[in-house]
Structure 1
Amino acid sequence: MAGQLTQRGALSLLLFLTPAVTSTWYAGSGYYPDESYNEVYAEEVPRAPALDYRVPRWCYTLNIQDGEATCYSPRGGNYHSSLGTRCELSCDRGFRLIGRRSVQCLPSRRWSGTAYCRQMRCHVLPFITSGTYTCTNGVLLDSRCDYSCASGYHLEGDRSRICMEDGRWSGGDPVCVDLDPPKIRCPHSREKMAEPEKLTARVYWDPPLVKDSADGTITRVTLRGPEPGSHFPEGEHVIRYTAYDRAYNRASCKFIVKVQVRRCPTLKPPQHGYLTCTSAGDNYGATCEYHCDGGYERQGTPSRVCQSSRQWSGSPPICVLLPINVNVNSAAGLLDQFYEKQRLLIISAPDPSNRYYKMQISMLQQSTCGLDQRHVTIIELVGRPPQEVGRIREQQLSANIIEELRQFQRLTPSYFNMVLIDKQGIDRERYMEPVTPEEIFTFIDDYLLSNKELIQRQEQRDMCE
């Protein structure tokens, strides 16, 4: 070698030998050497910077925004960017280091890496149904977000959340729940009088006022009790409404419907008679009709009406013994007095000592109540001419009337026989032997009573016991 390499640079000796005849091409040189001569020369290579640990600012001064560099130099604490200095990088609170945590000043006058501080942020909090939140500093570190719910809702969970250094929020997502029941207001209680001749009153009212304290949605309103416009009987009735909101909270209200019946004093049936009344018999508009037992007739007003003043119209009639005129010219004149008023049971016997006659009269005398209830009057025809005797309610009949009755009803004085005549004067049943009153009553009840009399019998079934 013709030359020597130094520390700052080295000389490269390039020897170009020219052949005698042909030229030589060097790849990548970009030219062909001249064939006319040979030349030897030295080329200087660019020199690397001399390494000097004494230079205080070998690398540029580190300056990291929102952070700091803590450097350690071989030259001591006053050298922060000299050759070989190592710096530890860190960021201020609220910032995160992106890049190398440690760099070193290299001989190339550059640091071995780069880094910067990025401001730390938490994710945006999700929307909370039926509520909201407010934050002190958005999504930055230490920002506190306070939750609140809309009217009618209650917060369940953390009321506040803080953005922490790891980029996450403290706590968990709260929820707003509807715990408040809806508001419901029923109509006022009301009182109404029953309608005439009725024990009920039709009552109307408006539906309750209902409002939900949360989202205003009412899903269902139920009624316990009769519907508006129903007929209410006498007394107090509780009407209850219950409202439900979307969260199944419920609230109830109630009011009273009171129905009064104007009533008159209870009427007493007349002596030897009875009453038939419409409706309850003592309520406003009710009509009570007076009736008399068999053998009696009514004198006075036939019916009375309960008025709105709670008093009965008119005055009570009385039942007097049915007058019987035995001083008539014929049996037909006697029977006409009973037409459509009384049934007749005519008994004929040869003499008062007749065994059948005595037995029959004895049984009938013990059943006068049942006979009166069925409007039955007894006529006795006892004996033969000229000793015959006729009786009707202790009144004596003339021999002429006795004879006509026996002929008209085909009754013989020779032996015991008996005939039952209805209110129209028709022969309905004949008996040749004594019968119990119960047999007579059963026949009358089954075949002779009108519908009105049947109802009366049901009401008076136990009066004779």
Structure 2
Amino acid sequence: MAQEAAPLLLLFLTKLVSSTWLEGSGYHAAETYNNEVYVEETPHTPTLDYRVPQWCYPLSIHHGEAICYSPRGGNYRSSLGTRCELSCDRGFRLFGQRSVQCLPSRHWSGMAYCRQIRCHVLPALHYGSYQCTAGVLVDSRCDYACLLGYQLEGDRTRMCMEDGRWSGSEPICVDIEPPKIRCPDSRERIAEPEKLTATVYWDPPHVKDSADGIIKRVTLRGPEPGSEFPEGEHVIRYTAYDLAYNRASCKFVVRVQVSRCPVLKPPQNGYLSCTSAGNNYGAMCNYFCDGGYDRQGTPSRICQSSHQWSGSQPTCVPMQINVDVNSAASLLDQFFEKRRLLIVSAPDPSDRFYKMQIAMLQQATCGLDLRHITIIELVGQPPHEVGRIQEQQLSASIIEQLRQFLQITRSRFNMVLVDKQGTDRERFIEPIDTDQLFDFIDTYLLSSQEASRRAENRDVCE
């Protein structure tokens, strides 16, 4: 009976052990396993002994320091219960626990390490640069500087601080220096002959920017190069602007001189007609005499580069009337473009109209001279007919030719006005007031030159 019960007990134990292994093991029952039995060992708990000097491994931290306090005194730096305060050197930051304790498990209660502190890389400085003493490490000093022509605005120096940030703020380089500009030299010019102006040329100013070398624009105040400059002093100014709108100006002077001769005076009983300004280099002055006067001497003079006039001053002498001529045409030619003729004819010296007209003309001698009028009188009947110019007597043949040429009758009073070109311009059959006569001449017969001189001498006869 004992031999039969032994196999049954062994089978029961085998089933019991197999069931315990599978339960909660995570394996399936269908799988096959051996029949070994494993017994869990109880963890070994060391015997606590506070007198062991190095219960935990010696504690050290790279780039840092551990200050420890042991219950057993200063010689027990890693004994059971020792507490250490951890810190890092300057420039390093502690990661982990600042305080650890040596535990009964012969391990420290925590770990820590020191990591080097770094600031971010500073950005590049536009138009400038910086230099650092120790890169991006703590206490590194970075000094900023700007390129030539720029000025630094902001912090000149920044320090990498222990919190990993840079002190101050990022500076900037600003262009505050104006550009350099140099104008051409001042210049003097002499006006050209017969002109009161001079053409002046010059090169553009030399402009350079001290910063980036870029000039935005250059403005000119004054005439352009190659302009005609009148006599006098002219200031030319240039202004240059850079990209930052800094500006710089320069100026120079253009002087134009007119070479002149002494001012000419008109001859007595005459006048001048000059080109240009009348006395500048190259100007020509023509001399003219009033009606009834002849010019003696050079007709014109020119202002020379030596500031002297060519030739000499002519004179105006009273016109010499030659009555000893062969024809009326020869007599009239002497007055061509010089004098107007007023021919007064009457049948008898006692003619009432004749006496009235002659009396009015004698009272207006000044006005007649101003208007270049010469009076010819034809009075009476042949053979006692009298013809005279001023105090000179005309021959009978000349009188007859004049009457025929101008169709002047002897039978009654009449008067003929002949202009400087020898043209019959007006006839009168009755005496005319001298004011009316002068109004007609001033309105229809005066040249522009005569009108100008008439306006200048308007009050001479008053």
Q: TM-score range by the shorter chain?
A: 0.7 to 0.9
Deviation at 1:414, TM superposition (A): 5.4
1:296 aligns with 2:299: no
When residues 298 and 169 of structure 1 are mapped into structure 2, their CA distance, relative to the original with a 3 A threshold, is same
Deviation at 1:146, TM superposition (A): 1.2
When residues 221 and 323 of structure 1 are mapped into structure 2, their CA distance, relative to the original with a 3 A threshold, is same
Greater Cα offset, 431-440 or 204-213: 431-440
**In the alignment, which residue of structure 2 is the partner of 1:92?**
89
Deviation at 1:108, TM superposition (A): 2.2
Q: 1:425 and 1:20 mapped to 2: Cα distance?
A: 178
**In the alignment, which residue of structure 2 is the partner of 1:32?**
35
**One-letter code of the match for 2:143?**
D
1:175 aligns with 2:168: no
**One-letter code of the match for 1:169?**
W
Deviation at 1:336, TM superposition (A): 2.7
2:215–2:241 CA contact under 8 A, matched in 1: yes
1:311 partner SS: coil
Deviation at 1:94, TM superposition (A): 1.4
1:370–1:441 CA contact under 8 A, matched in 2: no
Greater Cα offset, 386-395 or 57-66: 386-395
Q: 2:297 and 2:215 mapped to 1: Cα distance?
A: 66
**One-letter code of the match for 1:31?**
N
**Unaligned residue ranges in structure 2 (runs of 5+):** 1-8, 23-32
1:322 aligns with 2:315: no
1:240–1:253 CA contact under 8 A, matched in 2: yes
Deviation at 1:286, TM superposition (A): 0.8
Q: Indicate the percent of aligned positions where both proteins have the same amino acid.
A: 67
Q: 2:156 and 2:40 mapped to 1: Cα distance?
A: 79
1:119 aligns with 2:122: no
When residues 347 and 27 of structure 1 are mapped into structure 2, their CA distance, relative to the original with a 3 A threshold, is farther
1:463 aligns with 2:457: yes
2:335–2:420 CA contact under 8 A, matched in 1: yes
Q: 1:171 and 1:436 mapped to 2: Cα distance?
A: 107
Count of residue correspondences: 438
Deviation at 1:445, TM superposition (A): 5.0
**In the alignment, which residue of structure 2 is the partner of 1:216?**
213
**In the alignment, which residue of structure 2 is the partner of 1:9?**
none
**One-letter code of the match for 1:26?**
S
**In the alignment, which residue of structure 2 is the partner of 1:13?**
none
**In the alignment, which residue of structure 1 is the partner of 2:229?**
232
CA deviation profile, 1:411-439 (whole Å, cap 9, x unmatched) = 34555432221233221122344545565
141, 145, 166: which one aligns with 2:142: 145
Q: Is the helix fraction higher in 1 or 2? A: 2
1:75 aligns with 2:67: no
**In the alignment, which residue of structure 2 is the partner of 1:309?**
306
**One-letter code of the match for 2:15?**
S
CA deviation profile, 1:114-164 (whole Å, cap 9, x unmatched) = 211111121111111111111111111111111111111111111111112
Greater Cα offset, 431-440 or 304-313: 431-440
1:8-87 to 2 correspondences below 5 Å: 18-19=10-11, 23-24=15-16, 25-28=18-21, 30-32=33-35, 45-87=42-84
Q: 2:261 and 2:92 mapped to 1: Cα distance?
A: 96
1:360-371 to 2 correspondences below 5 Å: 360-362=360-362, 364-371=364-371
When residues 44 and 296 of structure 1 are mapped into structure 2, their CA distance, relative to the original with a 3 A threshold, is closer
Deviation at 1:363, TM superposition (A): 5.6
Deviation at 1:275, TM superposition (A): 0.7
1:259 aligns with 2:256: yes
Instruction: Tell me the TM-score normalised to structure 2 length.
Output: 0.86
2:368–2:374 CA contact under 8 A, matched in 1: no
**One-letter code of the match for 1:291?**
F
2:21 partner SS: coil
When residues 331 and 116 of structure 1 are mapped into structure 2, their CA distance, relative to the original with a 3 A threshold, is same
1:23 partner SS: helix
Q: 1:28 and 1:362 mapped to 2: Cα distance?
A: 173
CA deviation profile, 1:17-63 (whole Å, cap 9, x unmatched) = 745598342353753379xxxxxx98753422223333222211210
Deviation at 1:407, TM superposition (A): 4.3
When residues 399 and 140 of structure 1 are mapped into structure 2, their CA distance, relative to the original with a 3 A threshold, is same
Q: 2:453 and 2:242 mapped to 1: Cα distance?
A: 56
Q: 1:21 and 1:52 mapped to 2: Cα distance?
A: 45
Deviation at 1:344, TM superposition (A): 1.6
1:368 partner SS: helix
**In the alignment, which residue of structure 2 is the partner of 1:430?**
427
Q: 1:42 and 1:303 mapped to 2: Cα distance?
A: 152
**Unaligned residue ranges in structure 1 (runs of 5+):** 1-16, 35-40
**In the alignment, which residue of structure 2 is the partner of 1:454?**
448
- CA-based RMSD of the aligned residues comes to 2.9
2:180–2:248 CA contact under 8 A, matched in 1: yes
1:461 partner SS: helix
When residues 456 and 48 of structure 1 are mapped into structure 2, their CA distance, relative to the original with a 3 A threshold, is farther
